[in-house]
């Protein structure tokens, strides 16, 4: 396949973004990790209707708005739900991109009702970028500077992502602070995965193996990944989902990292699926919850 040039909308700067479309196409396979000998925990919230009148049932609106429940006893049958369109996902990486691969494979096998339409990286030769090129996913290098001068700004990035009609942005090991312009352009639509149970062991300087070493040194008995909304600071956005794994007595940082990463892969796929199926609900106090696909009255 011949190399194609990406056509972008006019930007605030004249220089074109670094977007690369690969020539060859083959699907890389992700090495399977053996089933672990530990149990991860998920906390579920059940909104029971026992306290409500028998003839009434509860409906909750799934959107970026807060939960609003109302009786619907006067409705004899539910209206058919409109068919959901596939959502467009942008993934940001700085390294090997194993979470990115898990999400992409889930979009291909139908687990996630969306498409990864673009990859953003600050390291054009990292493993995640190579995987994207191999699978014909456009790659954007950001930040992008030449001779110390910015040639592709945050405003350019926003314009480019909008040209791809991006619905959600998933940070998967992206080590740069997200610019304010992007946070404001995509409110409640940018997510990050962190390898500890936030708010513990989070913030600037806590990433990768540094997190796991700090967890072990602290004597914490549990750790695990957290997926949270992205705001203008490191790791301070609202927590959306977590998985808990034990910290064993003789753990090394590498062993704990492998255990947490195994949970990361599944957790990010589950969250991406919920986003694309519009199953995120907000409580009145501003806490986001994920509605169970199998049981609409159950949240976690």
Residues assigned a catalytic role: 194
Q: How far is the C-alpha of 300 from the C-alpha of 292, rounded, in Å?
A: 7
Distances 237 to 75, 179, 192 between C-alpha atoms, Å: 38, 14, 9
Distance CA 189, CA 87 (A): 12
Rg (the chain; Cα; Å) = 21
Phi-psi bin for 44: left (phi > 0), alpha (psi -120 to 50), beta?
beta
Q: How far is it, in rounded angstroms, from Cα 20 to Cα 146? A: 17
Which helix (DSSP H) or strand (DSSP E) does residue 98 occupy? Answer: helix 98-109
Alpha-carbon span 150 to 146, nearest angstrom: 6
Alpha-carbon torsion (109, 113, 169, 25), positive or negative:
positive
Check: CB of residue 140 under 8 Å from CB of residue 160: yes
Task: For residue 280, list its beta bridge partners.
Answer: 290
The Cα 66–Cα 84 span in angstroms is 21
């Amino acid at each position: 396949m011949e190399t194609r040039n990406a056509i972008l909308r006019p930007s605030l700067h004249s220089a074109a973004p670094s977007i690369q479309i690969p020539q060859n196409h083959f699907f890389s396979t992700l090495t399977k990790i053996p089933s672990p000998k530990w149990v991860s925990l998920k906390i579920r919230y059940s909104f029971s209707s026992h306290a409500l009148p028998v003839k009434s049932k509860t409906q909750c609106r799934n959107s970026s708005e807060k939960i609003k429940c109302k009786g619907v006893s006067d409705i004899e049958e539910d209206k058919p739900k409109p068919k959901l369109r596939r959502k467009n996902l942008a993934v940001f990486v700085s390294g090997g991109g194993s979470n990115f691969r898990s999400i992409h494979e889930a979009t291909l096998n139908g687990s996630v009702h969306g498409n990864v339409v673009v990859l953003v990286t600050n390291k054009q030769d990292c493993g995640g970028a190579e995987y994207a090129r191999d699978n014909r996913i456009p790659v954007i290098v950001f930040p992008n500077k030449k001779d110390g001068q910015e040639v592709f700004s945050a405003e350019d990035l926003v314009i480019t992502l909008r040209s791809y009609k991006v619905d959600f942005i998933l940070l998967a090991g992206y080590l740069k602070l997200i610019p304010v312009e992007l946070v404001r352009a995509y409110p409640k639509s940018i997510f990050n995965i962190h390898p500890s149970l936030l708010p513990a062991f989070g913030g600037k300087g806590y990433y990768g193996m540094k997190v796991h070493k700090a967890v072990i040194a602290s004597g914490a008995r549990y750790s695990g990944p957290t997926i949270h909304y992205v705001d203008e600071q490191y790791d301070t956005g609202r927590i959306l989902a977590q998985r808990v794994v034990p910290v064993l007595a003789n753990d090394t940082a590498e062993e704990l990292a492998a255990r947490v990463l195994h949970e990361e892969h599944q957790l990010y796929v589950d969250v991406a699926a919920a986003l694309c199926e519009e199953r995120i609900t907000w409580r009145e106090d501003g806490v986001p919850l994920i509605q169970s696909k199998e049981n609409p009255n159950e949240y976690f």
